[in-house]
Structure 1
Amino acid sequence: MAKPKKTPRPKAETPKGFRDYFGAEVTQRTEMLRKIAAVYHRYGFDALESSGVETVEALGKFLPDVDRPNEGVFAWQEDADLEKPGDWLALRYDLTAPLARVYAQHQNDLPKPYRRYAMGPVWRNEKPGPGRFRQFYQCDADTVGASSVAADAEICAMLADCLEEVGIERGDYIVRVNNRKVLNGVMEVAGLAGDDKEAERGIVLRAIDKLDRLGPDGVRALLGEGRKDESGDFTEGAGLSETQIEKIMSFATVNEHISFVLERQEVPESVAVRFPGLAQAAIGAGSLKDGRPSIEGRGNEQSGKLWNVAAIRALSTLVAGSEDGEAGLNELLTIVDLLEPLGYGPDRIVIDPSVVRGLGYYTGPVFEAELTFEIKDEKGRTRNFGSVAGGGRYDDLVKRFTGQEVPATGVSIGVDRLLAALDAKGRLDKTADGPVVVTVMDKSRMADYQKMVADLRQAGIRAEVYLGNPKNFGNQLKYADKRGSPVAVIAGEDEFQNEKVQIKDLILGAQIAENATLEEWQARENQYEVDRGDLVSEVAKIIQRQA
């Protein structure tokens, strides 16, 4: 008789694209979410916790920045093997699509406008890479039912406040603002308006978004007949005429021209032909404190104001004659006018035509928070940290459920990106807040040890009794070290008879071992005896001293 095959043991490994988080990492994220939630709450937003699973139909085709929106989700069909299978369900890929469903379902019971914030994990079935995971946290705030551009301005101000609340200093970030209507105006002037040009507009959007990676020549090729990459693969282009391409490229490279003009305070003939309004922006500009007003250069009041003026004038040239484009410019000006008196000037929030990511998803103002400081990447190269948050106005999302346009605007903050930024700046406390460990010298005294722990906990001090094998006392102290414990409490037969306890200051002990000379080590004893009644107050003093 054949022996039954043994069931193979499962591999103890995380699935590809996922990771586990331990101790301090979880605590750090929780603290960051708490701080951001406090800002959202202060602005009058209410918390919402929606389901992590939605129907694929409800999620729809609104996944930003993905060519095939229905791809990229983790989905399954209920009762797929039955004659009448059930709905297709999917893990949510963001927190905005569920909001649209919640609002449409409960709109009769919700205040209008409805202001909500939500925090939690989202899942995307995309190819993972360095720092790119299939599960990550988002932290969103949205206003649904307010058409006023004041709602967009408020989101920008709140985003700036959130960054500063979590420890990103002013001058280390900039909130960049653009408007989808401006790009609509550019498209209209270039002859790409209308339903019959939707495919071409999609190619144009994706081409502009690749400017940093492909450069002007690569984008120009995608706007024309197409482009062959280094591997030989050919990407079909939008098939635009030279005149159309020139108009789109003027928009795509407008930041380069603005920077040139403000740096040199002159307008070369080639730029003057494209952007007549820039000549006025250059007159009387004076020398710029930070030189070329790149992202970094816009991080002060003077250069930021000059940049905003130049950007508006350049864009007004590009959208002249387009009602939609001019409306977008007016909205940008309104945002600036609303924010500057409140202290959110161009050192924090600026108009930036280069913000194009996700413009296929948004319908009005769009914003992106970028960290401006430099870091070293995994290959030792210096680069800017980059974007940590984004959002904008999306007036069409709820319409899918209700048939009626419902205005909405919001922002999503990448919590994991922010944690990585604080880590890169050395502003993240990586030390775990370990518990006080009460060691066990006599197992028959377990009730006494538990009473010590209870007294500490009632005083708000994190504490635990060592519950491993107490036979080897050295292992108990090793355990306390591994937990990052600030104090170990020691009590044996002599201590119980005399109503005493031994206090071992583990943090001080580590400092002495690392830095002190023999004389200093002998003079700074890190273990001493106190009365049992003074246990809580003595431990509290040590923890307070180390805080």
Structure 2
Amino acid sequence: MSDTNANRPKPRRARGLMDRRGPGLALERGLIQRIAKVYETWGFEPLETPAFEYADALGKFLPDQDRPNEGVFALQDDDEQWLALRYDLTAPLARFVAENFDALPKPYRRWAAGPVWRNEKPGPGRFREFWQCDADTVGAASPAADAEMIAVACAGLEAAGVKRGGYQVKFSTRKLLDAVLENIGIAADAYSTRLVVLRAIDKFDRLGRQGVELLLGDGRKDESGDFTKGAGLDAKQRAAVIDLVMAGAGSRGDVLARLAKLAGEAAIAELREIDAALSALGMDDAAAAIDPTIVRGLEYYTGAVFEAQLIGEGGANFGSVGGGGRYDDLVSRFRGERIPATGFSIGVSRLAAALQAQAAAEADGPVVVLVMDQARIADALGMAAELRAAGVRAEAYLGGGGMKAQLKYADKRAAPVAVIQGGDELAKGVVTLKDLKLGARIASEFGEDREAYAKAREKVQQDAPRAQLVAAVKSMLG
């Protein structure tokens, strides 16, 4: 066979997967070591399960026609049974506990670390393979076990190098939503409607109140034109769910008081116990807060749910770096009896990426608001003040140079974003945002390839309504 270009495979990485090397790989492995040491200090023993499990044992996805549903990577073994790569470390734990139940101490406390795989659409910060580092307690029904999971997650994050105040673990319980849905006439067996409501709330951080309201109603069309069908709730039902979603501001005591009025004391009983146990463990409101928007996307959670978020300078949220909750029915799938369990998973890959992004962001200079017309310098000062009030470092250019000189100034200040509002933008009621860091990276990557550079450069600059200045800048910074 002749060695021609046509016969050579093209070297390419599969979508949604990463190559790891050098400092990034060392960072991830170091995080695992430090978090694992915390888990073992708290009495959790190590456990390693296989990457593959039988698809029916994983439980979340069942065979559909010729292969299991989307969400997992699966293959059929030579005995015609379906095997699937694990999508988390919890489902394999449930199988292990059920298989070795009589030999294990109760409660059984284990930690594990390893890669997991999700067969879903990849995107920015969303990978098909990533590492997790989990701690779980199986056989403890007390809400104190949930509080311990929150506390050990805080200790793990601090061991990973995140200082107290640089993270917050938010928690809630699925029982809150169950109570509210029952109050508004959504039956417990209306499974599909309840699932759509749950997933709508789970998107609150990304879509905000308006987006969630659309998903609770008829549905929502995204920027690409794709339509997501909603839960079909009427106006009164939507209002009740939104009241729950918006009840999370203030101290744990304040939130509990509001939730008691919305959902009743029975729905918040375990939250009160978790709150008391957290106080005994030294976890204040800054470290652990009650947030009703935390519902978690996985379907096996039955009670308390948790999510850890990394907080940057000025309160900037770098997103979720871990989560978990109570899953009292997962082991029972195998044994036919309810086995209480709770756990927390730190997303090592996501935490490493967030720490790197945070370090890069905190090394940036301020956002620079350019002054295109000296007669309108007050407008630039006002925009800079608006950004600072929202926790974004910002300044207005107070020199006497033109646009080119001002952009050069912004580069020297290591500004990540420049805000521009000339006469054309003013007339349209918009501002132009220029992503200076992305622009510099594109220039270095494409070099002499002018066509590719010009095409990629379109992503550097975007317009946003003046009223959405803060949100647009934060989005670009993220």
Fold shared by both chains (TM-score > 0.5) = yes
- The CA deviation string for residues 450-469 of structure 1, in whole angstroms up to 9 with x for no partner, is xxxxxxxxxxxxxxxxxxxx
1:162 aligned to 2:161? Answer: no
Pair 1:48–1:179, CA change in 2 (3 A): same
Mapped contact 2:204–2:293 kept (Cα < 8 A)? no
Post-superposition offset of 1:228? 4.2
Change (3 A) 1:21 1:222: closer
Q: TM-score, normalised by structure 1?
A: 0.61
Q: What amino acid maps onto 1:153 in structure 2?
A: A
Matching residue within 120, 124, 127 for 1:130? 124
**Given that residues 101 and 398 in structure 1 are in contact (C-alpha distance below 8 angstroms), is that contact kept between their aligned partners in structure 2?**
yes
Quick one: distance in 2 between partners of 1:62 and 1:175?
A: 29
Percent identity for Structure 1 against Structure 2: 54
The 3 A distance-change label for structure 1 pair 211 and 131 is closer
Deviation for aligned residue 1:105: 0.7
Is structure 2 residue 190 aligned with structure 1 residue 246?
A: no
Give aligned pairs, total: 356
1:388 aligns with 2:321: yes
2:278 to 316, 333, 339: 339
Shift of 1:312: 0.7
Q: Distance in 1 between matches of 2:310 and 2:194?
A: 30
Instruction: Indicate the residue corresponding to 1:316 in structure 2.
Output: 260
Change (3 A) 1:217 1:384: closer
- For the pair 1:413 / 2:346, whether they are aligned, the reply is yes
Structure 2: distance between partners of 1:24 and 1:209 = 33
Q: CA deviation at 1:374?
A: 4.5
Instruction: Report the TM-score, using the length of structure 2 for normalisation.
Output: 0.69
Report matched runs for 1:66-465 at 5 Å: 70-79=69-78, 86-195=80-189, 197-229=190-222, 232-255=225-248, 258=249, 307-320=251-264, 326-358=265-297, 360-374=299-313, 383-426=316-359
Q: In structure 2, what is the equivalent of residue 12 of structure 1?
A: 11
The residue that corresponds to 2:427 in the other structure is: none
Give 1:248's aligned amino acid. V
Mapped partners of 2:279, 2:246: distance in 1: 27
Q: Which residue in the other structure is 1:451 paired with? A: none
Alignment of 1:5-44 (within 5 A): 8-44=7-43
Question: Using a 3 Å threshold, how does the CA distance of structure 1 residues 311 and 92 change in structure 2: closer, same or farther?
Answer: same
- Distance (Å, rounded) in 1 between the aligned partners of 2:211 and 2:358: 35
User: Unmatched 5+ residue regions in structure 2?
Assistant: 361-478
Q: Does structure 2 retain, via aligned residues, the 8 Å contact 1:175–1:349?
A: yes
Q: Determine if contact 2:55/2:61 at 8 Å carries over to the other structure.
A: no
| Correspondence 1:59 to 2:58 | yes
The residue identity in structure 1 corresponding to 2:321 is V
The whole-number CA distance in structure 1 between the counterparts of 2:242 and 2:330 is 30
Instruction: Report if the CA contact (8 A) 1:62-1:361 is conserved.
Output: no
1:420 deviates by: 2.3
CA distance 1:70–1:400, shift in 2 (3 Å): farther
User: Whole-Å Cα distance in 2 between the matches of residues 60 and 337 of structure 1?
Assistant: 34
CA deviation vs aligned residue, 1:19-52 (integer Å, no higher than 9, x gap): 2222333322222111111100011101001111
Q: SS of the counterpart of 1:169? A: coil
Q: Using a 3 Å threshold, how does the CA distance of structure 1 residues 360 and 125 change in structure 2: closer, same or farther?
A: closer
1:58 to 1:336, Cα distance in 2 relative to 1, 3 A: same
SS in 2 for 1:361: coil
SS in 1 for 2:285: coil
Aligned-partner Cα distance in 2 for 1:73–1:308: 37
Kindly report the root-mean-square deviation, in angstroms, between the aligned alpha carbons of the 2 structures: 2.6
Q: Is the 8 A contact 1:328 1:364 kept in 2?
A: no
The Cα shift of 1:414 comes to: 0.8
> How far apart in 2 are the matches of 1:120 and 1:231?
35
Does 397-406 or 220-229 show the bigger shift?
220-229
